[in-house]
Amino acid sequence: MTTLLAFAFVLGVLVFVHELGHFLAAKRVGIRVLKFQLGFNPTIASFRYGDTEYGIGALPLGGYVKMAGESPEEPRTGRPDEFLSKTKWQRFQVLIMGPVMNIGLAFVLTAVVLYQGADVPAYEDRPPVVGAILDGSAAAAIDIRPGDRIVSVMDRPVNTWQQFLIAVGSRPNRETSIMLERTGQRIVRAVTPTVAPGESRFEIGDIGVLPDVHPHIPKVYPGEPAERAGVKPGDVVLAVNGERITFGRQVRDAIFKRPEQSITISVLRNGERLDIHATPEKRGDGGWLGISLADETKSIKPGPVEAVTMSLKRNVEYGGLIFHTVWGLLTRETSPRQLMGPVAIAQLSGESAELGWIALFGLMSMISLNLGILNLLPIPVLDGGHIFIMALEGAARRDFSARVKEKMLLAGFVVLMMLMVTVIYNDLTRISWIERLMPWR
């Protein structure tokens, strides 16, 4: 139920904002709006105010604003309040305002989320210098070494770990060129990212490199094995049984898997490396040492102006990533498996809602940005497609016939249906019991 309610809320807000943009722009330039509806037909509830009927449709996957004289097929009276009676510039304003409102919503929501503050991984905005290589990973097979500085991915510079993870994450199972800097020399390696563990739902690529960070121990519980062994609060965990540690979950797994077995924990204390021998007690199904673990993070708490500035920067970066992904789909450089449809959005909405409003607003901002930008693509049926047709008419200095426009819209409809089939198929394969019914997978 939480998933359904969260999905209805997220989609309802995004569609409402999009259609409100068209509605307000139409009213501003003097176009008569016949209907404003959330959801597709059949209409299940409606009321009329002035010239406009406001309704809610039974299928909550979209919405629309119907304007007088909007389609060439409709009988036109030539009245000045009809859509096609307006100039191209006025029609452009009506068409563009839907995507603009979605992009604006993404900007506002991102600023709100950032203003709340958060603890984020400390390494995300650091240069991508390799700290460790996972055994058996793609990176280990091509001689990437600790200390290597990753300079670029597919000739695109990466200045932070976040940029690197995004660049590699978008190329699962595709050969990828990576430039490294090692002892002042630049080396190019070809690597094929595999699907990251735990990310099979969205096919996020991973090559098995880790940043140069370590978890620390903020608390040692009195009387437990860790205290008796000499572990102290503030110790930084470097390795367990000689295996380098990057994240706290690695320590938890190592302890859990070795109940009543002696382990060696290498820690950094006051600048000195110490090897501590401890034996986890058996608690439940696994080992227990009596420590809490925390990854290296930094707190972000921007003021209002800084939150707005950070939101603008982040949305510009994510917008560039969206265009890069679209181009990658056209050139077959990006996996279609990374596309999400309504089922996946519903799942993510439910998961985010369980984490609270801030997480849900963060998801909404990302979806709103995607919706706004994708609607600007020059595909007939989309807002960008209608703008593209008007631009062609302007270049040709004549309006196309209704038949030509019908063919353009049909072509756009076919493209969208193919895309819809792809994303729904992706969504279904992310549901384990449905995937088991697909013998070809």
Q: What is the pLDDT of residue 20?
A: 94
Active site amino acids:
19
One of 1.10.8.60, 2.30.42.10, 2.40.100.10, 2.60.40.10 is the CATH number of 216-278, namely 2.30.42.10
| Domain limits, the chain | 2-95+388-435, 130-211, 216-278
Q: Which amino acid is at 115?
A: Y
Confidence of residue 414 (pLDDT cuts 50, 70, 90): confident
Residue 95: name the closest of 380, 367, 416 by CA.
380
Coil vs helix vs strand at 259: coil
Q: What is the pLDDT of residue 429?
A: 66
Residues 275, 277, 282, 285, Cα dihedral to 10°: 30
Domains 130-211 and 216-278 belong to one CATH topology: yes
Q: What is the pLDDT of residue 338?
A: 66
Q: What is the pLDDT of residue 412?
A: 79
Q: What is the pLDDT of residue 415?
A: 78
Confidence of residue 149 (pLDDT cuts 50, 70, 90): very high
The structure tokens 């709340």 sit at 116
Q: What is the pLDDT of residue 216?
A: 93
Burial of residue 203 (number of CB atoms within 10 Å: 0-12, 13-18, 19+): buried
352 has a pLDDT exceeding 80: no
Instruction: Give yes or no for a contact between 87 and 80, defined as CB atoms under 8 angstroms apart.
Output: no
**Could you tell me which CATH class the domain 130-211 is placed in?**
mainly beta
Pairing of strands 281-283, 33-49: unpaired
Mean confidence (pLDDT) of the chain: 86
Q: Which amino acid is at 159?
A: N
pTM (two decimals): 0.78
Strands (E) in 279-316, as ranges, are: 281-283, 286-288, 291-294, 297-300
Burial of residue 113 (number of CB atoms within 10 Å: 0-12, 13-18, 19+): buried
Q: What is the pLDDT of residue 112?
A: 92
68 has a pLDDT exceeding 70: yes
* Per-residue pLDDT tens digits for 222-277: 999 999 999 999 999 999 998 899 999 999 999 999 999 999 999 999 989 999 99
Separation of alpha carbons 395 and 186, rounded Å: 48
Here the tokens at position 383 are 């807002």
Q: What is the pLDDT of residue 69?
A: 82
Q: Tell me the Cα Rg of the chain.
A: 27
Question: Above pLDDT 70, what percent of the chain?
Answer: 90
Confidence of residue 340 (pLDDT cuts 50, 70, 90): low
